[in-house]
């Protein structure tokens, strides 16, 4: 399995004198700031992708930027790899410990430092939960727009590192469009300010480079986010479909009609049932799929938009179209969608969430192919996703305890991602590459492109100590993976037309 | 997430409960967001997902030490995590199994054993406990006195009322008020001498067998009452009610008691559940209507009765003030306030701040533990909500209400 790092095709480091490392870190960290016992470190061996596990050498829990710098300096001097961890909700194994690394947990950076309602900005520490920002600024009629489904728990630092998206990103953009300034500590302990309080800064747009860098370029110790005023009016429409293809078709038509919903999400039957058990939102449970479409803005525009969306859904074959009766129901509709992944725990002991994107007009086709693949591999697949973005989240249901199922789930996941690429899409929409999609990077990018990524990484972190073995594959890995998967110079699904 | 439970536990009902709970957890981490202890320490070992993992590794046979025990001890059993979990993980059931298992594998230092034994001993000795609580200024020496009110209504229905161990020593007036309020509703309440303490204190202090003895005795007494026509077991301490609802798990390995435990658990009612069915009618307006209602975790997170007390009191003319962060525990959590003073005091200070933000005349709660814990340092009087109902029913004078020491 991919959580096993392979010295032939992954980065390697010389062994470190652990006692010395511990002694030095102890000096740099406060009391209760270092965990060294295996019993206490196990909890940190995995993130939201629980099938992947790895043990760090120690877990560090710094509280200040100065402590982060000191830890990084020690690691740089002792050539010890470092993996940053936010809330550990990542789904691609980004925070999976590299064996023997220092795991740097940022959870204690949990303070909101300043709110400037007038300038619509908030300066927060990276461990602050995404939702806590919107809660804190609600009193000023403001909110922080990117809302990953995990927003109740995931950290803003993790959001920046993954360039997280969410339900409302269709209209308001991803994390990268909603942040202003970062404080970043480099591998040798230097503290950089990236971006600034003005909307644009001179020079290269390093802010965009760091956003989505998955802990490979530095450790984020402060984030200034942009805030938006709450829309005057918001309403959500629920449409039920007897066939998933009709739902996919409705999405394509809504977008083609030039409507920009605040959110456009789809859930299929399995997902709807699991979510309904959790929130009792009143979802229709005997349908093949539902769409949730939210429109916000001036009251007249919302009404107009919703009636157009409703008509399109009915035309596409919806069996039912209705609006949330009140604000409480609107919230329940979204709570069900946001809790839909973990609600799968009610259906199977484990799920594996895939994160490919595809051109929206091919939704129906891809969903049909996923159903076929699910049959071939013999594992059920539930679909919950950001339909408006064409960002799929097939959830493969399996049981890690059943022999061969982990490998089978991994293989099915790989096949689905390759299908996405073949359809003209990408292997990740928002969950990042992490460890999980490292091989598919070889499918998505050419050797020259990967060399460029490596050069960029080396300019920040020449020794490759930050989050090694993640996000960017070594060329040796691609050569090996390519030999396995590309037969006679042909990619999988070579029969499919490429964009 | 599947766990491979090893050792003798695997063969038991407790082992099956643990395996089931672990299977439902998908390790998403949502629960950490609402966990009071994780919010304070910022260490995943003090969050529910971390604790689930600690228990999992212990049950899977990995070595355990004081480290695991320490982080499980710091859990408040408040169950905020359960209300957040989309996958329906019944964390508290796993915690109970985990704690009991670890108690058999990890020895506590002598001072912890002594503290635990002392607390268990005291809860069984009412007079002594009362004297100590007064001496320690945990409760006031004088109890609120009320003019005895003649009970006019015919008592056509009957229910049983839990006496409570700590409560009968510290606040016997809770049951007096409850009896009056229920009488006004035509319900006669009787206390059963054989079922005085619910057994939670012993159970949560490493004395599961002692607790089981209590539990069996209570079940026998209540089954007799239910057979004799008692409709329900009314428990006005929400912490005790929660534990009684867990009797089926506590006796999971006892086939003789299994179905009786279920019957008793199903018969438990918080007074608010009974009263809201036909809400009492106020005879007079409240003297000081502006109040704060503190829903104990055991009222909101277990039985899902959040807001029920505030709604009932609103109907009687009270004006409960809005409160933020209602999901955060006040830090009482049974004997937690005695065993984990640092976290407990911090949570109490935070809770009192939000409860008094709108300057209420009094704070009303629904559990003896929260009442004692908050009352110890609150400058606003803390009372049981049943007293607020009692105060506006009939022509009783509020001669002396409990004020904080
Ligand atoms: C149920 C569920 C639903 C989800 N839904 C969405 C969704 O709708 N949209 C979406 O985009 N994601 C979603 N995710 C994925 C995940 O929540 C996001 O990727 C999130 O941004 C991760 O944040 P985190 O704090 O948990 O980071 P972690 O998982 O701890 O870490 C993620 C990565 O960020 C790096 N990192 C973390 N903190 C720092 C820091 N301070 N400095 C540098 N690097 C750092 C880590 O090294 C790692 O590579 C979901 C996850 C779950 C479990
Ligand atoms: S929220 Fe539920 S499923 Fe998720 S980690 Fe917590 S207990 Fe497990
Ligand atoms: S019961 Fe309360 S303290 Fe314990 S893990 Fe759950 S939320 Fe945290």
CATH of residue B90's domain is 1.10.1060.10
Confidence category of residue B151, pLDDT binned at 50, 70, 90: low
The pLDDT tens digits for A336-394 are 999 999 999 999 999 999 999 999 889 889 999 999 999 999 999 999 989 988 999 99
Q: Whole-angstrom Cα distance, residue A260 to residue A324?
A: 19
Average pLDDT for residues B11-36, to the nearest whole number?
A: 96
Asked if residue B3 is part of any domain, the answer here is no
Whether residue B212 is found in the same domain as residue B177? yes
A26 half-sphere exposure, CB direction, 13 A CA radius: 8
Q: Which of A223, A157, A236 is nearest to A195 (CA)?
A: A223
Long-range contacts of B124-133 (CB under 8 A, 24+ apart): B124/B165, B124/B197, B126/B165, B126/B168, B126/B169, B127/B169, B129/B165, B129/B166, B129/B169, B129/B170, B130/B169, B130/B170, B133/B169, B133/B170, B133/B372
User: Is A281 within 8 Å of A329 (Cβ atoms)?
Assistant: yes
Mean pLDDT, all residues of chain B: 91
Token digits of residue A94:
């980004």
Query: In what helix (H) or strand (E) does residue B96 lie, and over which residues does it extend?
Result: helix B91-105
Please indicate, yes or no, whether residues B30 and B58 belong to a single structural domain of this protein.
yes
pLDDT for the residue numbered A118: 96
Instruction: Please provide the distance, in angstroms rounded to a whole number, between the alpha carbons at the two ends of chain A.
Output: 32
pLDDT of A494? 41
Query: What is the phi/psi pair of residue B319, to 5°?
Result: -125, 80
Residue finishing a domain among B70, B105, B140? B105
- The CB of B80 under 6 Å from ligand 3? The reply is yes
Hey, CA dihedral for B224, B225, B230, B234, is it positive or negative? negative
Question: What local confidence, expressed as pLDDT, does residue B402 receive?
Answer: 45
* pLDDT attached to residue B193: 86
- Tell me the C-alpha distance between A350 and A346, whole Å: 10
Q: How far away, in angstroms, is A328 Cα from ligand 1 center?
A: 28
CB–CB of A189/A429 below 8 Å?
A: no
Render pLDDT for A24-37 as a digit per residue (tens, 0 to 9): 999 999 999 999 99
β-bridge pairing A191-195 and A263-268: unpaired
At B3, the pLDDT band (50, 70, 90 cuts) reads confident
A112: left (phi over 0), alpha (psi -120 to 50) or beta: beta
Q: Is the dihedral of CA A150, A156, A162, A164 positive or negative?
A: positive
CB A255 within 8 A of CB A360: yes
Indicate if the pLDDT at residue B375 is higher than 60.
yes
Q: Are B137 and B73 members of one domain?
A: no
Do B133 and B263 fall within a single domain?
yes
* Together in a domain, B325 and B236: no
pLDDT at B144: 62
Number of residues that make up chain B? 405
| B118 belongs to a structural domain | no
Mean pLDDT on B77-86: 96
pLDDT of A490 reads: 47
Distance CA B270, CA A237 (A): 39
User: What's the rounded Cα separation, in Å, for the pair A235 and A261?
Assistant: 10
Q: In this predicted structure, which of A252-256, A309-313, A481-485, B118-122 has the lowest mean pLDDT? A: A481-485
Using an 8 Å Cβ cutoff, are B95 and B37 in contact?
no
Cβ proximity of B52 and B22 under 8 Å: yes
Mean pLDDT for all residues in chain A: 93
Q: Is the pLDDT of residue A247 over 70?
A: yes
Q: What is the DSSP string of A277-337?
A: HHH-----SSSSEEEEEEEEESHHHHHHHHHHHHHHHHHHT-SEEEE-SSHHHHHHHHHHH
In a domain, residue B281? The reply is no
- Tell whether pTM > 0.90: yes
Overall number of domains in chain B: 3
The answer, yes or no, to whether any atom of ligand 2 lies below 6 A from the CB of B23, is no
Radius of gyration of chain B, Cα coordinates, nearest whole angstrom? 21
Closest by Cβ to B2, choosing from A47, A107, A399: A399
- Cα B134 to Cα A284: distance, rounded to the nearest angstrom: 58
Model pLDDT for residues B223-272, shown as the tens digit of each residue: 999 999 999 999 999 999 999 999 999 999 899 999 999 999 999 999 99
- Same structural domain for residues B222 and B271? yes
Query: A 138-177 residues with CB below 8 A of B?
Result: 150, 152-154
Cβ atoms A409, A1 nearer than 8 A: no
Residue B2 lies inside a defined structural domain of this protein: no
Mutate to test the interface with A, among B26, B55, B98, B327 (most CBs of A within 10 A): B26
Shared domain check, B63 and B197: no
What is the DSSP pairing of strand B319-320 with strand B362-365?
A: unpaired
Residue B1 in domain: no
In-domain check, residue B115: no
**Option in A87, A127, A342 nearest B87 (CB):** A342
The whole-number pLDDT of residue A202 equals: 77
Instruction: Collect contacts of A439-443 with beta carbons under 8 A, ≥24 apart.
Output: A439/A2, A439/A414, A439/A473, A439/A477, A439/A481, A440/A414, A441/A471, A441/A472, A441/A473, A441/A478, A442/A473, A442/A477, A442/A478, A442/A481, A442/A482, A443/A417, A443/A418, A443/A485, A443/A491
CA distance A247 to A267: 9
Give dist(CA A403, CA B127) in Å, integer: 60
Give A462's contacts (C-beta < 8 A, 6+ positions apart).
Answer: none
Q: Which pLDDT belongs to residue B79?
A: 97
CA of B337 to the centre of ligand 3 (A): 15
Residues B135 and B235 in one domain: yes
**Which residues have C-beta within 8 Å of that of residue B279, sequence separation ≥ 6?**
B312, B315, B316
Q: What is the pLDDT of residue A453?
A: 96
**Measuring CA to CA, how many Å separate B80 from each of B33, B34, B35, B370?**
9, 6, 6, 16
Average pLDDT over residues B273-294: 95
Q: How far is the CA of B342 from the centre of ligand 1 (A)?
A: 32
Q: How far apart are CA A496 and CA A405, in angstroms?
A: 28
CA–centroid distance, A70 to ligand 1, in Å, is 24
Say whether both B214 and B267 belong to one domain. yes
pLDDT score for A443: 83
Determine the pLDDT at residue B132.
79
Contact of B94 with chain A, judged by CB distance below 8 Å, is answered with no
Cβ of A228: how many Cβ atoms within 10 Å?
Answer: 16
Which residue among B27, B42, B87 places its CB closest to the CB of A107?
B42
If one residue of A47, A83, A84 were mutated to test the ligand 1 pocket, choosing by the most ligand atoms within 8 A of its CB, it would be: A84
**Is B133 within 8 Å of B141 (Cβ atoms)?**
no
Which of B77, B105, B133 corresponds to the end of one domain? B105
Q: Which residues are paired to A194 by β-bridges?
A: A182
- For A498, the token pair is 């490429």
Does one domain contain both B77 and B144?
A: no
Radius of gyration, alpha carbons of chain A? 23
Question: In the 8-state DSSP scheme, what is residue A497?
Answer: P
* B95 Cβ below 6 A of ligand 2: no
> What is the predicted pLDDT for the residue at B54?
98
Domains of chain A with bracketed CATH: 18-105 (3.30.43.10), 115-229 (3.30.465.10), 233-343 (3.30.70.2190), 348-498 (3.30.70.2740)
Does a structural domain hold residue B134?
Answer: yes
Q: Does any domain span residue B283?
A: no
A150 CB neighbours in chain B (<8 A) are 28-30
Range name among A240-249, A258-267, B188-197, B241-250 with the lowest pLDDT average: B188-197
Note whether A50 contacts B33, CB cutoff 8 Å: no
Check whether residue B134 and residue B94 sit in a common domain: no
Q: Can you give the residue range of the structural domain that contains B152?
A: 123-275+395-403
- The alpha carbon of A3 is separated from its chain's Cα centroid by a whole number of angstroms, namely 18
Same domain, B65 and B134: no
C-beta atoms surrounding B226 within 10 Å: 19
Contact A223, A497 (CB under 8 A): no
Closest CA to A37 of B295, B392, B62: B62
Q: Give CA–CA dist A471/A95, Å, rounded.
A: 11
Summarize the confidence of residues A418-444 as an average pLDDT: 90
pLDDT recorded at residue A482 = 72
């Amino acid at each position: 399995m991919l959580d096993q790092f392979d010295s032939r095709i992954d980065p390697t480091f010389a062994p470190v004198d652990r006692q010395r490392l511990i002694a030095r870190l102890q000096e740099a960290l406060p009391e209760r700031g270092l965990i060294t016992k295996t019993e206490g470190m196990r909890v940190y061996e995995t993130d939201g992708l629980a099938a992947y596990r790895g043990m760090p050498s120690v877990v560090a829990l710094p509280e200040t930027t100065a402590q982060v710098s000191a830890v990084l300096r020690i690691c740089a001097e002792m050539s010890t790899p470092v993996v940053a961890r936010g809330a550990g909700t990542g789904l691609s194994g980004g925070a999976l410990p590299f064996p023997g690394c220092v795991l740097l947990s940022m959870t204690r950076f949990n303070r909101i430092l300043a709110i400037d309602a007038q300038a619509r900005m908030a300066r927060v520490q990276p461990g602050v939960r995404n939702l806590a920002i919107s809660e804190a600024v609600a009193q000023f009629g403001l909110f922080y727009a990117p809302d990953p489904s995990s927003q109740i728990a995931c950290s803003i630092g993790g959001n920046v590192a993954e360039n997280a998206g969410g339900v409302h990103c269709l209209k308001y953009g991803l994390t990268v469009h909603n942040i202003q300034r970062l404080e970043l500590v480099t591998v040798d302990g230097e503290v950089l300010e990236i971006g600034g309080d003005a909307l644009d800064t001179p020079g290269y747009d390093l802010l965009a480079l760091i956003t989505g860098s998955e802990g490979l370029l530095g450790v984020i110790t402060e984030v200034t986010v942009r805030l938006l005023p709450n829309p005057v009016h918001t309403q959500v429409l629920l449409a039920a479909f007897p066939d998933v293809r009709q739902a996919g078709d409705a999405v394509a038509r809504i977008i083609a009609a030039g409507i920009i919903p605040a959110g456009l999400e789809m859930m299929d039957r399995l997902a709807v049932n699991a979510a309904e058990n959790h929130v009792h939102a009143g979802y229709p449970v005997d349908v093949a799929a539902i769409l949730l479409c939210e429109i916000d803005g001036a009251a007249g525009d919302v009404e107009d938009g919703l009636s157009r969306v409703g008509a399109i859904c009915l035309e596409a074959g919806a069996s039912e179209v209705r609006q949330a009766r009140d604000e409480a129901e609107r919230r329940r509709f979204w709570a069900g969608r946001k809790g839909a992944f973990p609600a799968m725990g009610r259906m199977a002991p484990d799920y594996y969430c895939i994160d490919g994107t595809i051109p929206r007009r091919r939704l129906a086709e891809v969903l049909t192919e996923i159903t076929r693949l699910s049959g071939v591999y013999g594992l059920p697949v539930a679909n919950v996703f950001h339909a408006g973005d064409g960002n799929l989240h097939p959830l493969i249901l399996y049981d890690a305890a059943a022999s061969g199922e982990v490998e089978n789930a991994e293989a099915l996941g790989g096949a689905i991602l390759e299908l996405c690429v073949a359809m003209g899409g990408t292997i990740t929409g928002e969950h990042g590459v992490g460890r999980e999609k490292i091989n598919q990077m070889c499918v998505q990018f050419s050797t020259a492109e990967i060399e460029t990524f490596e050069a960029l990484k080396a300019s920040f972190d020449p020794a490759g100590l930050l989050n090694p073995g993640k996000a960017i594959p070594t060329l040796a890995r691609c050569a090996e993976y390519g030999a396995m998967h590309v037969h006679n110079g042909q990619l999988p699904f070579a029969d499919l037309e490429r964009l | 997430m599947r766990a491979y439970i090893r050792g003798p536990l695997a063969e038991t009902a407790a082992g099956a409960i643990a395996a089931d709970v672990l299977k439902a957890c998908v390790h998403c981490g949502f629960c950490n967001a609402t966990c009071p202890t994780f919010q304070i320490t910022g260490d995943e070992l003090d969050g529910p997902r971390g604790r689930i993992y600690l228990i999992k590794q212990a049950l899977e046979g990995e070595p355990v030490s004081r480290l695991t025990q320490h982080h499980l001890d710091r859990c408040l059993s408040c169950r905020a995590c359960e209300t957040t979990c989309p996958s329906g993980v019944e964390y508290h059931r796993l915690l109970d199994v985990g704690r009991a298992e670890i108690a058999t594998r990890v020895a506590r230092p002598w001072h912890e054993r002594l503290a635990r034994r002392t607390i268990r001993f005291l809860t069984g000795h009412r007079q002594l406990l009362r004297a100590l609580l007064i001496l320690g200024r945990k409760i006031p020496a004088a109890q609120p006195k009320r003019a005895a009110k003649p009970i006019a209504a015919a008592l056509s229905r009957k229910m049983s009322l839990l006496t409570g161990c700590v409560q009968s020593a510290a606040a016997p007036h809770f049951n007096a008020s409850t009896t009056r309020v229920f009488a006004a509703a035509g319900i006669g309440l009787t206390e059963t001498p054989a079922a005085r303490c619910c057994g939670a204190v012993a159970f949560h202090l490493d004395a599961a067998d002692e607790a089981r003895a209590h539990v069996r005795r209570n079940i026998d007494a209540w089954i007799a009452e239910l057979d004799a026509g008692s409709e329900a077991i009314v428990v006005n301490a929400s912490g005790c009610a929660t534990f009684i609802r867990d009797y089926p798990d506590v006796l999971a390995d006892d086939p003789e008691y299994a179905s009786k435990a279920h019957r008793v658990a199903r018969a438990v009612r918080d007074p608010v559940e009974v009263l809201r069915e036909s809400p009492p009618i106020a005879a007079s307006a409240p003297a000081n209507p502006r109040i704060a209602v503190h829903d104990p975790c055991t009222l909101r997170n277990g039985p899902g009765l959040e807001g029920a007390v505030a709604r009932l009191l609103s109907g009687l003319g009270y004006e409960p003030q809005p409160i933020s962060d209602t999901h955060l525990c006040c830090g009482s959590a049974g004997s937690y306030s005695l065993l984990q003073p640092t976290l407990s005091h911090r949570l109490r200070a935070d809770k009192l701040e939000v409860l008094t933000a709108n300057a209420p005349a009094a704070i009303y709660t629904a559990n003896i533990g929260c009442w004692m814990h908050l009352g110890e340092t609150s400058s606003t009087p803390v009372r049981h909500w049943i007293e607020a109902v009692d105060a506006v029913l009939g022509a009783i004078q509020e001669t002396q209400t409990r004020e904080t020491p």
